[in-house]
Structure 1
Amino acid sequence: MLKKFFTPQKIAVIGASGDPNKLGYDVINNLLRFEFPGSIHPVSKSYNEILGVTCHVSIEDLPDDIDLALVIIPAKAVPGVVEKCGEKGIRNIIVMSGGFSETGEQGRMLEEKLKETAQRLGVRVIGPNCIGVIDTHTPLNTTFIIGMPEKGEIGFISQSGALVVAVIDWAAGSGIGFSRMASLGNQMDITETDMIDEIGQHRETKVITAYAEGITDGRKFLQKATEISLSKPFMILKGGQSDKGALAVSSHTGALSGSNDAYNAAFRKAGILKAENMEVMFDSARALAWQPLPKGNRVAVLTNAGGLAILTVDAIEKNGMEIAPLTEETKSFLKTRLPAAASVNNPVDVLAGSGPAVYGLALDALLADETVDAVVVIQVPQDWFLPSGLAEVVAETSKLHRKPVLTSIMGKESSKEALEILNKRRIPNVPFPERTAAILQYMVERKDWLDLINEEQVTAFDDMTETPQKPSGADELAASQQWEALAGAYDIPLPEQDKASDADEAVGLSEKIGYPVVMKMISEKFTHKSDVGGIKMGLNNEDDVRNAWNEITAAASDAGAELQGVLIQKMLTGGQEVIIGIKQDPQFGPLIVFGTGGTEVELYKDIETAIAPLNEGEARRLIASTIAGRKLKGWRNLPPADMDAVVDILIKMGNLAAGHPEIQEMEMNPLYVLEQGKGTYAIDIRGALRSS
């Protein structure tokens, strides 16, 4: 438990200073200025007292029951200080000092020494190289920065101290309040997973937000994040989303599914909402903390300005939601009560001459409409009534219904009082109405994830902690790289096929299997054999087979490759080609990818990624998220394909990935999907083991 980092009774400040230009002074000043209710114990040999607080000359001179120590001294002295703190019985330390692993090899070695010292003495450490923590409800501000966020319900965790500083300054006066904030620094000991657990259990925290550049232990993080997401919304702004550092190995799977795809898949699995930017994250967090979730994705827009309503409608539809159709009863009601020129279709435009009373009447009607799941209220400033009057009406009307209401009461000076009212009444307001679309999209995403979890009566956490049972002999097959045999061990269907070492044997196998057949080059040199003429399709007789043998032999010779025979395979027709692949991600473990397969996989890049293993609901959602999945339902001249069989293969491949971490990647491209009820076949399988 990390509770004492946020609710200590006695704090020691090691490196305290009476010099207003020193960080050790700023920390003492913040503890006092923001009314920390406990006692403060500065440690300093240079000062008898700082800001009226008596100093201690050494750590040994401190009381025996210090809950938390703040360390702000040169890096080289930190391990020794932590040693003394541990011997004194202090078990919670925030090391704000920089000069550790972020500075290079020498700093890394110093950090290792600090870590060893802390572990040996049973001391928990936040940092080093951080700015500390804040709890607005204690209240507690251990940082050296200027300012304190407003008291609220949003928890914020950051791997960047500078971002915490920026957020506090940006949020001032915005109506966005925080419960707890934590800067983690180098995460030598306490990680983002530890901190989301602590803040997630905090009663005053209703929504957790985080800025993360990386995850320390991906699977552990997912398990804890899933537990938290079941009870509280969790949003992350991910830094460093480029895939340039992703390792692309021999298969399409490795090349097409990068590190950002892995993070996206992990966040979806755990119900984490991935923010696109900081502004949207905190706007959405406030709405998630204050408003009920919508029951669906149908939105009504109430406005006094047509142009802004159009922009808002565009944004709503762009974010995947719908404009509520409104019932005829609602339209008739509005028509008899709004100005004659007003629009009673959605968006509902009450015109510039309408005041708070008309807004309230229309808002009540929209919220009562069964086709409406959420309402956006837009108001352009008018010179004949105060925005505060509208704010009161919106707040009173919205509390009569269990549907989310977002406002965009525009203007700055004229709307100050209105915004204070809305914040007090827990109605989120944004300065430009298009921003409401992204907020509502996150609210719908949250609602959909909770619905799916409840529907399946199983959590992603259960999936990740249960190791799938492996078929007998599967380990030996994986170790020997017999990919077709390994697939067979997991009951993944293969077309009838066999290997031939010369033309005569190829003819004999073709006649045994039955024409038409496909001939494929067997050579370790080529991953994509079609690129060098190594695959011949539609072979209908002996002459076709012998000609194909000669052409493949010549192709191998021209490429300077050793031909190790050919594979004769029954040719299938009338189906669709998809790709299913697995890979091991360095942070989140086994992944599974699905999308459009065949020779055009890299052209279309219709690929989506999920965390393995999968349950049936997750498999179906993965399929539905791709163009390939939409085609499988039936497309133009293509009849519906055997979707159930594809789901079955995805689940089996997910189990294979989770059960065989020694397999770096493996893919079936294509998996040939026949018509509904006729099954699937893995046409081509390749893979690679992890390098030791």
Structure 2
Amino acid sequence: MNTALNRILCARSLAIIGASSDPAKRGYQAIRQLLSDGFAGRIFPINPKSREILGLKCYPSVLDVGETIDAALICTPAKMSPGILDQCGQKGITGVIVLAAGFAEIGPEGAKLADECLAVAQRNNVRIIGPNTNGVFNLHNRMNLVGVQGVEPGGIGIVSQSGNMSLALITEAKRRGGLGFSTYVGVGNQLDVRFNEYLEYFGQDQETKAAVFYVEGFKNGRKFLDVCREVAKKKPVIIYKSGRTAAGQNAASSHTGALAGSFALTRDLLRQAGATVIEQSDKILSVAEGLSKLPVASGDRVAILSDGGGHGTITTDTLIEHGLTLAELSDETRMRLAGMLPASASLTNPVDVAGGTDENPACFADCAQILLEDPGVDILMIIGIFGGYAMRFSESLLEMEIETSRRVADLARRYGKPLVVQSVYGTLRPKPLEYLKELGIPLFIWPENAVRCVAELVRYSGARRRIARAQPLIPGPAKKAAQSIISGARSEGRDSLYEHEAKTLLATYGVTVPPHLVVREAGELVHVTAKLGDDPMAMKIVSQDILHKSEAGGVKLEISGGKALCSSFEAILENAHAFNPRARIHGVLVSPMARPGVEVIVGVVHDPIFGPVIMFGLGGIFVEVLKDVSFRALPICDEDAQEMIEEIQSKAILNGVRGAAPVDKSALVDLIMKVAMVSQLHPEIAEIDLNPIIARDDGYDVVDARMIFSNDGD
């Protein structure tokens, strides 16, 4: 556990440095809030000009306090921070919260001050939250250093790079009711403590049932993924990543590199690590509530219990759109439902009670039990006006509705299956629904939001199982042969492998590559037919100085016959010299034309934030235009590779269109895994770009392969 961070967020003694008697100042407001909330720990106001503030003895500095201090809230101007941090270090305070702005966000002068603060803090073993933060709170510790009012303690932890976003979530929770928070941290400039450390804290905090992060940018994305993978095994991590339209890296030497800076990469990698990524800010809280209260789902088969056709249909449509499965009810289940519902009721999924609950809301609990007992049902959704019958029909139904809420909650616990409720009366907060929320059942106003929560629960549940099954990489004997190819290229001062070398390296790991021949002189073309057959050929320039061969006129396709081979050879050399007169020409690569199929791409790039990542998508010359790709951080498992293939928008093409046979997806999974192994065992390869790969029903052909070394050779 991060002891310093734990001492800050679970402090039992606090110094308020810059304490004030002015109600408009944070140094006054913080003390007032602590006293108002009944903070059980010791509070030490620090101000050399005051003797007492709000009835508490005031001290000139933390060095004058004769007791141990866990943490300090620094409310003074930025320029005073280095000296105060030094005093905190001398006192043995291991963690501080710096509210002041005026650091790196204002320019070079502020950045210099930030560097000085960090140096002082590190020298004194003091950890810093902030600066430029709106504060922290731990409601279970009654330590509110933000000043928000009327917030319920609960199970949702928040870490935010935006004070306004945190206030929006807190305000929404207050409006809805029945939803509370454990700990909040405004990270500010992240001068010291990083997102991954806050996530580690939430993973260990017993009061936090789900962790919510609003992130504008990661400073150590790889470390965050590593921590997220561990925390997600225990509890949900919900992330909203802003800046989704900032895409691309300015100087990318491959298709993979050009696509790697996108939001899609961040989203895919976070989901791979078990996080739930939300792309609409108004959905953050509802998903967090659901995931914090619901058990892990064993599958995606959903049963709908509705008291109206409209909401049932909307829910069904949305379920299918989210890729979930409408549960097929057993004959026994339908027969039992028929025994208690009117003849007009629909006994197939969605189940419509058709007025059977209007005078007897308890029927909802009876039907819910039948559905939860069906082994073909993984999740139950109750849809419509549940909880509002007393308001709509008769006040005499109120007690029955409250008792039904209790029974529904008991059933959810007994059967251990996720159960969510959607009610049009949710905004009115009637007693049966408020009681339902108190008992831990997620409540939604609109069917779409309820389904979104269920879909994210299913995704999260699957990620937990996948992470638990992940196995470590075991290197094979191919590494030595591959390393000799790399060493040979580097000994010649090259920063990349030639295409035929890259293909040979892939072949050492079991990747299927087409036969090929490198021709240096026209006279060698007479050997092409004998070595490669008499099928039409493809010819490509081989030069360390020409990466994009087509742009240089260095590619000729569908070449048949000796004369055509000779003329194409001469044309390729002439084009290459015209494109780059200084280009070093190694020869011309000749290979049989690949049979028709679907063009895909597999690539690896070392992302500056997340480290090595692998990509799969629709390939060919339009890959950077269509950008239909998926990403995963290395290492990966077979399930990651399978998910990458299924996630692309054009996956229907892989399944076969207009009479075409579906491609061999198992072969593509195997290829992705082998490329991942190459990257992991040879980290000196900075980029791998296999594009296009022609995928067919009987395998694939790697038509082009590119491998680029890192600049430092690591």
Work out whether the TM-score is over 0.5: yes
How far apart are 1:428 and its partner, in Å? 0.8
How far apart are 1:397 and its partner, in Å? 3.0
Out of 629, 634, 657, the position equivalent to 1:607 is: 629
Out of 28, 31, 35, the position equivalent to 1:28 is: 31
- The question of whether the paired residues in 1 share the 8 Å contact of 2:540 and 2:554 is answered with yes
**Partner SS, residue 499 of structure 1:** strand
2:594 equivalent in structure 1: 572
1:330 equivalent in structure 2: 333
Could you give the per-residue CA deviations for residues 332-384 of structure 1, whole angstroms, max 9, x where no partner exists?
33234223333223222223535412222222222222322222212334232
1:163 equivalent in structure 2: 165
Aligned equivalents of 1:289, 1:45: Cα separation in 2: 45
1:482 equivalent in structure 2: 497
**Partner SS, residue 311 of structure 2:** helix
**Partner SS, residue 316 of structure 1:** helix
Counterpart amino acid of 1:206?
K
How far apart are 1:594 and its partner, in Å? 1.4
Counterpart amino acid of 1:390?
E
**Partner SS, residue 62 of structure 2:** coil
Could you give the per-residue CA deviations for residues 112-150 of structure 1, whole angstroms, max 9, x where no partner exists?
00000000111111111112221121221122x331521
How far apart are 1:412 and its partner, in Å? 5.6
Out of 450, 460, 463, the position equivalent to 1:449 is: 463
Identity across the alignment (%) = 33
2:515 equivalent in structure 1: 496
Deviating more after overlay: 603-612 vs 486-495: 486-495
Counterpart amino acid of 1:407?
V
Deviating more after overlay: 381-390 vs 155-164: 381-390
Aligned equivalents of 2:470, 2:252: Cα separation in 1: 37
2:561 equivalent in structure 1: 541
Matches within 5 A, 1:97-136: 97-136=100-139
**Partner SS, residue 8 of structure 1:** coil
Deviating more after overlay: 218-227 vs 594-603: 594-603
Matches within 5 A, 1:506-525: 506-516=525-535, 517-522=537-542
1:418 equivalent in structure 2: 432
Q: In 2 relative to 1, CA 612–190 (structure 1 residues): closer, same or farther, beyond 3 Å?
A: same
**Partner SS, residue 399 of structure 1:** helix
Is 1:147 matched with 2:149?
Answer: yes
How far apart are 1:647 and its partner, in Å? 3.1
How far apart are 1:595 and its partner, in Å? 2.2
How far apart are 1:109 and its partner, in Å? 0.6
Aligned equivalents of 2:334, 2:16: Cα separation in 1: 65
What do you get for the CA RMSD once the two structures are aligned? 2.9
Counterpart amino acid of 2:562?
E
Out of 262, 265, 269, the position equivalent to 2:265 is: 262
Aligned equivalents of 2:465, 2:351: Cα separation in 1: 30
How far apart are 1:528 and its partner, in Å? 4.3
Out of 288, 297, 301, the position equivalent to 2:300 is: 297
1:239 equivalent in structure 2: 242
**Partner SS, residue 569 of structure 1:** strand
Counterpart amino acid of 2:264?
D
Could you give the per-residue CA deviations for residues 189-234 of structure 1, whole angstroms, max 9, x where no partner exists?
1111111111210112121111111222122212111111111111
- The question of whether the paired residues in 2 share the 8 Å contact of 1:507 and 1:546 is answered with no
Could you give the per-residue CA deviations for residues 466-525 of structure 1, whole angstroms, max 9, x where no partner exists?
9x9674335525643224424533514432222324433334434443222221234567
2:324 equivalent in structure 1: 321
2:607 equivalent in structure 1: 585
Q: In 2 relative to 1, CA 558–85 (structure 1 residues): closer, same or farther, beyond 3 Å?
A: closer
Matches within 5 A, 1:162-311: 162-174=164-176, 175-247=178-250, 249-311=252-314
- The question of whether the paired residues in 1 share the 8 Å contact of 2:475 and 2:681 is answered with no
Counterpart amino acid of 1:482?
L
TM-score for both structures, normalised by structure 1: 0.91
2:55 equivalent in structure 1: 52
**Partner SS, residue 61 of structure 2:** coil
- The question of whether the paired residues in 1 share the 8 Å contact of 2:327 and 2:349 is answered with yes
Matches within 5 A, 1:392-431: 392-400=403-411, 401-411=415-425, 414-431=428-445
Q: In 2 relative to 1, CA 185–690 (structure 1 residues): closer, same or farther, beyond 3 Å?
A: same
Q: In 2 relative to 1, CA 28–475 (structure 1 residues): closer, same or farther, beyond 3 Å?
A: farther
2:83 equivalent in structure 1: 80
Could you give the per-residue CA deviations for residues 292-313 of structure 1, whole angstroms, max 9, x where no partner exists?
2222212222222322222222
How far apart are 1:568 and its partner, in Å? 1.3
Aligned equivalents of 1:433, 1:593: Cα separation in 2: 35
Aligned equivalents of 2:153, 2:111: Cα separation in 1: 37
Deviating more after overlay: 653-662 vs 580-589: 653-662
How far apart are 1:527 and its partner, in Å? 4.4
Could you give the per-residue CA deviations for residues 4-51 of structure 1, whole angstroms, max 9, x where no partner exists?
112222211000111111111111111111111011010113332222
Aligned equivalents of 2:694, 2:579: Cα separation in 1: 29
Deviating more after overlay: 438-447 vs 609-618: 609-618
Is 1:473 matched with 2:489?
Answer: no
Counterpart amino acid of 1:684?
D
- The question of whether the paired residues in 2 share the 8 Å contact of 1:125 and 1:190 is answered with yes
**Partner SS, residue 472 of structure 1:** helix
Q: In 2 relative to 1, CA 64–415 (structure 1 residues): closer, same or farther, beyond 3 Å?
A: closer
How far apart are 1:84 and its partner, in Å? 1.1
How far apart are 1:408 and its partner, in Å? 1.8
> Which structure 2 residue ranges, 5 or more long, are not aligned?
none
- The question of whether the paired residues in 1 share the 8 Å contact of 2:155 and 2:180 is answered with yes
Deviating more after overlay: 243-252 vs 470-479: 470-479
Matches within 5 A, 1:584-663: 584-602=606-624, 604-626=626-648, 637-639=659-661, 643-663=665-685
> Which structure 1 residue ranges, 5 or more long, are not aligned?
none
Counterpart amino acid of 2:538?
V
**Partner SS, residue 430 of structure 2:** helix
How far apart are 1:608 and its partner, in Å? 1.4
Aligned equivalents of 2:519, 2:210: Cα separation in 1: 62
Out of 368, 371, 389, the position equivalent to 2:373 is: 368
Out of 691, 694, 698, the position equivalent to 1:669 is: 691
Aligned equivalents of 2:89, 2:564: Cα separation in 1: 80
1:356 equivalent in structure 2: 361
Deviating more after overlay: 130-139 vs 77-86: 130-139
What number of residue pairs does the alignment pair up? 684
Is 1:383 matched with 2:393?
Answer: yes
- The question of whether the paired residues in 2 share the 8 Å contact of 1:149 and 1:172 is answered with yes
Counterpart amino acid of 1:378?
I
Out of 448, 464, 469, the position equivalent to 1:434 is: 448
How far apart are 1:108 and its partner, in Å? 0.8
- The question of whether the paired residues in 2 share the 8 Å contact of 1:193 and 1:220 is answered with yes
Q: In 2 relative to 1, CA 289–519 (structure 1 residues): closer, same or farther, beyond 3 Å?
A: same
Deviating more after overlay: 645-654 vs 265-274: 645-654
Aligned equivalents of 2:206, 2:455: Cα separation in 1: 26
Deviating more after overlay: 401-410 vs 225-234: 401-410
Aligned equivalents of 1:122, 1:302: Cα separation in 2: 57
Counterpart amino acid of 2:555?
I
- The question of whether the paired residues in 2 share the 8 Å contact of 1:262 and 1:588 is answered with no
Q: In 2 relative to 1, CA 50–15 (structure 1 residues): closer, same or farther, beyond 3 Å?
A: same
Q: In 2 relative to 1, CA 309–273 (structure 1 residues): closer, same or farther, beyond 3 Å?
A: same
Q: In 2 relative to 1, CA 606–85 (structure 1 residues): closer, same or farther, beyond 3 Å?
A: closer
